[in-house]
Amino acid sequence: MSKYFLIIGFHLFYFGLFAQINVDSVELYLFELMNEERVQCGIPKRYRSNYCKKAAELHTAYIKKYTISEGHDESRITVGNKVLEKPMDRYNYFNRDSFKICVNDYCYYKKIFNYESEVAGWKAFIGLAVPDLKRKDINKFFAKTIFDGFMNSEPHKKRLLEKFNDYISRGYFIFDYRLNSSDNLEIFCVGVFDRTTQNLDYHKSVYKSDYNKLY
């Protein structure tokens, strides 16, 4: 009988936890934490990018499915018949926008945005007795946990705080979670970043002070 009640309690705990998790909130908190850190370091804030969002969605879904990834280059991420192995491949699949440049009688096309970098992370919370999972501010907790993990890794920190003088820098974080076969909660996050190929003056009429808008 005690085992029966334990199972009920287990499912009620996670049902209540999952009801509190809002992936959109976690993603927005993450973006705000990054921009707060950038401001403290004297670096311009990033805007949110739809291309980065779609590329991050692909990689997050892959990590959630396979848990242990091959790194940033993934041999099994496919869209249709295309294998999008590298982060730049995934980003460029969605980044189709370009503009035409003509010099005398020679014309060519240049992209408006270039891929910049990617960060990716995974964490497992072991067992039911983790106090942090009972927090009312669980979305902010997940965002802070992921952000601190990135900041404690020099390669990830460098990507979060990259600065391109006189260019617009953008990005997006995708967050997801699951209860695995061992009944442990796993969280996943991928951030992808891009930047404009032309300087700030060219884009200042579009990019103003709305950093939560999706461009």
Write out the E strands in the chain: 47-48, 78-79, 82-83, 98-103, 106-111, 113-125, 167-179, 185-199
The per-residue pLDDT for 106 is 79
Q: Which of 116, 79, 115, 77 is nearest to 95 (CA)?
A: 115
Q: Are 213 and 73 in contact (CB under 8 A)?
A: no
- Amino acid (one-letter) located at 99: F
pLDDT digits (tens, 9 = 90+) for 115-171: 999 999 888 765 544 556 667 888 998 999 999 999 999 999 999 999 988 899 999
Instruction: Please identify every stretch of the chain with a pLDDT value under 70, giving residue numbers as ranges.
Output: 1-19, 67-71, 98-99, 108, 125-134, 181
CATH 3.40.33.10 fits domain 20-203: yes
Domain boundaries, the chain: 20-203
Output the pLDDT for position 126.
55
Identify the pLDDT of residue 131: 54
User: Which pTM does this prediction carry?
Assistant: 0.83
Give pLDDT, residue 49. Answer: 96
| Closest C-alpha among 115, 120, 127, 109 to residue 179 | 127
The pLDDT of residue 133 is: 64
Q: What are phi and psi of 193, to 5 degrees?
A: -130, 145
